[in-house]
Amino acid sequence: MARYHFNIADGTEQSDPVGTELDSLQQVRHEALRFSGEVLREMGDEFWDDTEWKLTVTDHAGAKVLTLKFSAETG
């Protein structure tokens, strides 16, 4: 099992100092989507402020594993 860190950037950087232990890249992808959905739901109307929201997953050594980017446009 490896430890992965789910770090958020939305104008400010919010690093995940503890991380989550997962068995495979498939589990990392699943957790990244689940976690992103949870955070975006909590943001509510803030998400629509035209700021890009990004989740970067790194391994315990700090190497980037994947990045998800979210943005919204109205009108």
Q: Which domain holds residue 37?
A: 2-70
Map the chain to HEC letters: CEEEEEEEECCCEECCCCCEEECCHHHHHHHHHHHHHHHHHHHHHHHHHCCCEEEEEEECCCCEEEEEEECCCCC
Q: Report how many domains make up the chain.
A: 1
- Residue 64 in domain: yes
- Residue 75 in domain: no
Report the pLDDT value the prediction gives residue 70, as an integer from 0 to 100.
Answer: 93
Categorize the per-residue pLDDT at 15 as very low, low, confident or very high, splitting at 50, 70 and 90. Answer: very high
Express each pLDDT in 23-48 by its tens digit. 999 999 999 999 999 998 988 888 88
